[in-house]
Structure 1
Amino acid sequence: MEQTAQYLAISFSHKNTQIATREKLAFASNESIKEFLQTLKNQNPDILEILLLSTCNRVEIYIYTHNAESITDKVTTALAALKDLSDSYLREIADVYIQEGAVHHVFCVASSLDSIVVGETQIAGQLKSAYKFCFDNGFCGKGLTRLVHFAFRCAAQVRNATQISQNAVSVASVAVKKASAILENDAIKDKIAVVIGAGEMGALLSKHLLVCGYRILLLNRNKTHAQTLAQTLNAQTPNSVEVRNFSELSTLINQYPLLLVATAAPSHIVLDSMIEPSDFKRFWFDLSVPRNIQPPSMEGITLFSVDDLEQVMHENLANRKRNTTKAYEIIGIYTLEFFKWLSSLGVEPVIKKLRDMAKDASLRELDRAIKKGFLPKEYKENVAKILHNAFNIFLHQPTINIKKLSDKEEADPIIEAIKGVFGIDDEAILINRYKCEYDTILN
């Protein structure tokens, strides 16, 4: 790791940014992310590596850079210009973390301590997806790979050492739980839900609805995607999901009390003009960012957005206070361990240790030979010189090779493997795949 490089995290989340602003900050596609990041890198040589995470609750940028403070201003300026927002406003609301603070924040995000619902599991997949995309497009290298790799090790330890993810919850599960409670209080017996969206969030919503005994009417612009999801869900709960045509949207929202929307559409798809009077109350949940439901002007409709689930976060924190305290302790330890690990990755300590091990082995064998009478004691100094030259010759080419690979992307796993083989560090953290095992993203 270059000595002058630092980690930087710039965060716009449910903690500091209103949903209206998060809607504007959100990136609708990977192509738009790619274009933005490429422009940033081209215009700012101090950005060595960059990763952008865009979800319904946060837009965050993680950077490995030579100049964290100046890069922060340049990133917020570029983001403000792209999203037609005030630069000064973005600087004011942004949470900015540098070096140890940035690492600690990323570990908190990966461990879901920074989520609306503490302990939810969806963020891990979202972070893996963001990393995979940025790595594949050349925005991430060794610096951010080390960070993300360690973040998932930390998150795994948090899950294993606490009950924070026991009965794991997500925004989708909380929405369904809230919807069920409302419908039960209002004595609505027909458990039918209209779900719009067949992506990851739509699938999660559907699964939780089925667990709660709902029948689902599923709509998606791409009907094939909806049919694929329905086939999967019906295989587990037969005849529970019915795919309807997207053109029926305006009819269905006026026929049933419960509507849940979670799509990647960049604007409203449920319009106020579609709403017709009804003799029953309606409860609509918009889990999309940008929001997909235009605020209704007609009475009798209660609309919930992701920010309306904020209270659940506080209840969740209260219920899991003991576990979150333990989790933060783990994250603090892992933050320290991360920088300790980084300092151990240099090749010079490894080379020195190998030479010391060779020297110690040679001198031990020399002393043993003299003790057993295999060699006269007066020859010790000369033989020691011969052995010293021998192991220096033996280690010369490996030393050159190790130094050559030190700046390459594959250096970390090779150096860790060398340390593991020779027992140089019994706490070696071996990276089995440089790409941070992102091929397990769908698990």
Structure 2
Amino acid sequence: MQYVVVSFSHKNTDIEVRERLAFPDEEMKRRALERLLKTEGVGEAMLLSTCNRVEFLVSTSIPSSALHSIFELLHLHSGLSIEELEGRADVYEDEGAVHHVFSVASSLDSLVVGETQIAGQLKDAFRFAFENGYCSQKISRLIHYAFKCAAEVRNSTEISKNPVSVAGAAVSQAKEVMGGNLGGFTGLVVGAGEMSEIVAKHLVANGCNVIIFNRSMENAKKVADAVGDRVDIEPFHALADYINRYRLLFSATGAPHPVITREMVDPASFERHWFDLAVPRDIEDIDDVTVNIYAVDDLKEIVDNNLALRKEQARKAYEIVGRYTIDFFKWLQTLMIDPLIKDVREQARRAAISEIERAVKKGFISPESRKNVEKLVHNAFNKFLHTPTVQLRDVAEQPRADTIIEAMKYIFKTDTEVKMADKYKCEFVMKDDIR
């Protein structure tokens, strides 16, 4: 089985294309993954869809078949031609796929290098795929190790020091266009997801009052409680009464269609700055000179400044990612070898016990001597198996490992499979208060 990744991100597609590729709701993700898992050779699949990327990760024995199925699926989903999709996509296989996933988890592939929101998004994507049975052992191992790598990057570099997320970049841009100070202003925040919460926290930290709008008042209240002071909540249907009275608006709903339309906008005597952080976009194109709309891709200047500041740290981080990629494949070989060693030793133990029992029954060994004979045989097998055990563990780091392991499994008639008890719960994900 090999890992394959097909990636569409801010690096190879603009926001208009990412809108068409996005999977904003769970039902769309279910249909896509269920279709993909019907492909010959595809054993596991996972889908990551955020404002900056749409990526499929699969474990497959036939990479070409998996790629054909992914592009066909995206063609039907987006209406884009297969030729255009293939021309735009970044495709990674096996070692390249692992390196890419580790880079994404470590926030090195993000629009804002070092932002921490991607960790939560990747965790959610994995949890959705795992809990719905779309992935299991193969992808679980990879994601587990990806978060282990990301933790090392955070702890060993300053890549996430004073991290800036897309949400943080939007608030920074708002601060700049409002003259360098948000104190006393009111920001309208549409949506009650993680992005909205981060925006609200940044606004409050900059002295701005916040009003959160959402269809679920319960969810809006949860965000307000998490943010703290200077936050009010309103039902979504009240939004039209507010957007023509305040200068700042930030929207990140995850809706499949615009939630702020031209019909909601009235002329105003002051300039308004609206930040659309959703993909697909939340705000329709509005022909009004008083409304300035900023989409995710419009935050590029802040992103470029962020990248320059973090360039040296990113170099160190990529060295860690490269090392972890190599270590991951060594670890996989170890996972294959340890059960094999255990099984061979168990076969030896059972054979010895069987022969000792037969010898006792025939009177060749007295019952009183049985324990001593068992110890003797056990020590003999340990000595005999010591060198093969050491050699097998050394093989894990060599290219010929697969061939040797398969030969050993054939010789000893064992078909051991690693059973990962907890299948990993992504315990390496860390949360920050403001990203």
Please state which band the TM-score falls in when normalised by the shorter chain.
Answer: 0.7 to 0.9
Q: Secondary structure at the match of 2:51?
A: coil
Take 2:94 and 2:267, find their aligned partners in 1: how far apart are those partners?
A: 56
Take 2:60 and 2:423, find their aligned partners in 1: how far apart are those partners?
A: 20
* Structure 1 match to 2:41: 46
Q: Which residue of the other structure, out of 409, 425, 430, is the alignment partner of 1:436?
A: 425
Take 2:232 and 2:222, find their aligned partners in 1: how far apart are those partners?
A: 11
Q: Does the CA-based 8 Å contact 2:116-2:163 persist in structure 1? A: yes
- The CA deviation at 1:406 is 2.9
Q: Is 1:197 aligned to 2:191, yes or no?
A: yes
Matches within 5 A, 1:110-149: 110-149=105-144
Q: Is 1:330 aligned to 2:340, yes or no?
A: no
Q: Is 1:231 aligned to 2:221, yes or no?
A: no
* Structure 2 match to 1:18: 14
- The CA deviation at 1:313 is 2.5
Structure-2-length-normalised TM-score: 0.81
Take 1:52 and 1:439, find their aligned partners in 2: how far apart are those partners?
A: 20
Take 1:161 and 1:338, find their aligned partners in 2: how far apart are those partners?
A: 18
Q: Does the CA-based 8 Å contact 2:210-2:232 persist in structure 1? A: yes
Which contiguous aligned blocks of 4+ residues in structure 1 show a shift greater than 4 angstroms?
A: 352-355, 402-405, 438-443
Q: Is 1:406 aligned to 2:416, yes or no?
A: yes
- The CA deviation at 1:403 is 8.6
Gaps of 5+ in 2: 350-372, 386-407
Q: Which residue of the other structure, out of 280, 292, 309, is the alignment partner of 1:290?
A: 280
Q: Which residue of the other structure, out of 86, 101, 104, is the alignment partner of 1:106?
A: 101
Take 2:380 and 2:336, find their aligned partners in 1: how far apart are those partners?
A: 25
- The CA deviation at 1:80 is 0.9
Q: Does the CA-based 8 Å contact 1:347-1:403 persist in structure 2? A: no
Matches within 5 A, 1:33-72: 33-42=29-38, 44-72=39-67
Q: Does the CA-based 8 Å contact 2:3-2:93 persist in structure 1? A: yes
Q: Does the CA-based 8 Å contact 1:8-1:97 persist in structure 2? A: yes
Q: Which residue of the other structure, out of 289, 292, 299, is the alignment partner of 2:289?
A: 299
Q: Report the CA distance shift for 1:277/1:388 in structure 2 as closer, same or farther (over 3 A).
A: closer
**Identity of counterpart residues, as a percentage?**
44
Please, which moves more after superposition, 163-172 or 70-79? 70-79
Q: Is 1:264 aligned to 2:254, yes or no?
A: yes
Q: Report the CA distance shift for 1:404/1:193 in structure 2 as closer, same or farther (over 3 A).
A: farther
Q: Secondary structure at the match of 2:179?
A: helix
Question: 1:8-58 CA distances to partner (integer Å, 9 max, x unpaired)?
Answer: 01001111111111111111212221121111212x121011111111111
Q: Does the CA-based 8 Å contact 2:3-2:60 persist in structure 1? A: yes
Q: Report the residue type matching 2:308 in the other structure.
A: A
Q: Secondary structure at the match of 1:79?
A: helix
Q: Does the CA-based 8 Å contact 1:141-1:409 persist in structure 2? A: no
Take 2:294 and 2:51, find their aligned partners in 1: how far apart are those partners?
A: 14
- The CA deviation at 1:200 is 1.1
Take 2:226 and 2:314, find their aligned partners in 1: how far apart are those partners?
A: 35
Q: Does the CA-based 8 Å contact 2:185-2:208 persist in structure 1? A: yes
Q: Does the CA-based 8 Å contact 1:198-1:220 persist in structure 2? A: yes
Q: Report the CA distance shift for 1:255/1:336 in structure 2 as closer, same or farther (over 3 A).
A: same
- The CA deviation at 1:387 is 3.7
Q: Which has the higher contact order (CA 8 A, sep 6+)?
A: 2
Q: Report the CA distance shift for 1:232/1:281 in structure 2 as closer, same or farther (over 3 A).
A: same
Q: Which residue of the other structure, out of 167, 183, 199, is the alignment partner of 2:162?
A: 167
* Structure 1 match to 2:212: 218
Q: State the number of aligned residues.
A: 382
- The CA deviation at 1:352 is 7.8
Q: Does the CA-based 8 Å contact 1:192-1:217 persist in structure 2? A: yes
- The CA deviation at 1:440 is 6.7
- The CA deviation at 1:390 is 5.8
* Structure 2 match to 1:27: 23
Q: Report the residue type matching 2:34 in the other structure.
A: Q
Q: Report the residue type matching 1:346 in the other structure.
A: M
Q: Report the residue type matching 1:90 in the other structure.
A: L
Q: Secondary structure at the match of 1:244?
A: strand
Q: Report the CA distance shift for 1:161/1:348 in structure 2 as closer, same or farther (over 3 A).
A: closer
Please, which moves more after superposition, 278-287 or 264-273? 264-273
Q: Report the residue type matching 2:133 in the other structure.
A: G
Q: CA RMSD in A?
A: 3.0
- The CA deviation at 1:434 is 1.9
- The CA deviation at 1:244 is 2.0
Structure-1-length-normalised TM-score: 0.80
Take 1:313 and 1:442, find their aligned partners in 2: how far apart are those partners?
A: 22
Question: 1:326-348 CA distances to partner (integer Å, 9 max, x unpaired)?
Answer: 00111111111111111222136
Gaps of 5+ in 1: 360-382, 414-432
* Structure 2 match to 1:6: 2
Take 2:122 and 2:413, find their aligned partners in 1: how far apart are those partners?
A: 33
Take 1:27 and 1:346, find their aligned partners in 2: how far apart are those partners?
A: 36
- The CA deviation at 1:408 is 5.0
Q: Is 1:95 aligned to 2:90, yes or no?
A: yes
